[in-house]
Structure 1
């Protein structure tokens, strides 16, 4: 079996997402607990796919007011 590595996504940890978003790890855990951000649980570790992070940011984007 061959694997197409072009389709493999980057996954981020809680710590990485907190740093990217500029918020605390606790806040990320709260978002996960409330199921407000999509995540994967891989062997007990919470991970976020790059695509899901982009989608989450787009869904929470606010337009500027002129």
Structure 2
């Protein structure tokens, strides 16, 4: 699976990072970035999908 990030939607709420800190981070300007290479490693898929689901502005999308 992969995670599509729409930075124009990201508002830096950080819920993705709180839920899946091994997958998501926030840069110095508060925008989300992936801490892992894509495709997302199998052992992190569940966490990555959960982090994407909690984004309040739908800036993250799971691609299978």
TM-based fold match above 0.5: no
Give the TM-score band, short-chain normalised: under 0.3
Select the structure that is richer in helix. Answer: 1
Between Structure 1 and Structure 2, whose CA radius of gyration is higher? Answer: 1
What TM-score do you get using the length of structure 1 for normalisation? 0.26
Higher normalized strand content (fraction of residues): 2
With a CA cutoff of 8 Å and minimum separation of 6, indicate the structure with the bigger relative contact order.
2
